[in-house]
Amino acid sequence: MTNLWRKEAWLDVVILALAVFLFLSPWIYRFTSNQAGARDAWICGIVIGLASIWAIFSYAEWEEWVSVVFGLWLLISPWVLGFHNTLLTAMRVDVSVGIVIVLLALADLWTTRHAPPQLHA
């Protein structure tokens, strides 16, 4: 029987939890009236969440790169979309979640590439 759970999958579970938090953050911190900040959180939360679900069940490197790219987008989006001065809460959520997602996705890529070879008896 094949083991469907890779040992690095816990990183994808944490990224999924962060994506859910990101998606819910406009309601939690009450910035749904800021269209740019709320839409950014909703779209990034959905995309990162779907990529992490896919990575949990069927790992491929591209899912982690999606998380890295969208995590980096979260770092710069408050300035690109112009809500860095108007809504500090949304900016703080985007930047902090973005940093953690990028670090976790890069850690997942690194551990997957540098895992010791599996011995089969």
**pLDDT in single tens digits along all 121 residues of the chain:** 344 566 778 889 999 999 999 999 999 999 888 788 999 999 999 999 999 999 888 878 888 899 999 999 999 999 999 988 888 889 999 999 999 999 999 998 888 777 665 555 5
Q: Is residue 118 part of a domain?
A: no
pTM: predicted TM-score of the whole model, two decimal places: 0.85
The gap from C-alpha 29 to its chain's centroid, in whole angstroms, comes to 19
How many distinct structural domains can be found in the chain?
Answer: 1
Q: Is residue 1 part of a domain?
A: no
Instruction: Provide the pLDDT for residue 118.
Output: 57
Instruction: Provide the pLDDT for residue 60.
Output: 80
Q: Is residue 18 part of a domain?
A: yes
Q: Is residue 92 part of a domain?
A: yes
Q: Is residue 22 part of a domain?
A: yes
Q: Is residue 121 part of a domain?
A: no
* Token pair listed for 79: 């300035």
Cβ proximity of 108 and 64 under 8 Å = yes
Length of the chain: 121
Q: Is residue 93 part of a domain?
A: yes
What CA–CA distance (Å, rounded) separates 46 from 81? 18
Q: Is residue 48 part of a domain?
A: yes
Domain boundaries, position 105 = 9-113
Instruction: Provide the pLDDT for residue 115.
Output: 65
Instruction: Provide the pLDDT for residue 88.
Output: 87
Instruction: Provide the pLDDT for residue 3.
Output: 47
Instruction: Provide the pLDDT for residue 72.
Output: 97
Which stretches of 58-87 are DSSP H helices? 61-80
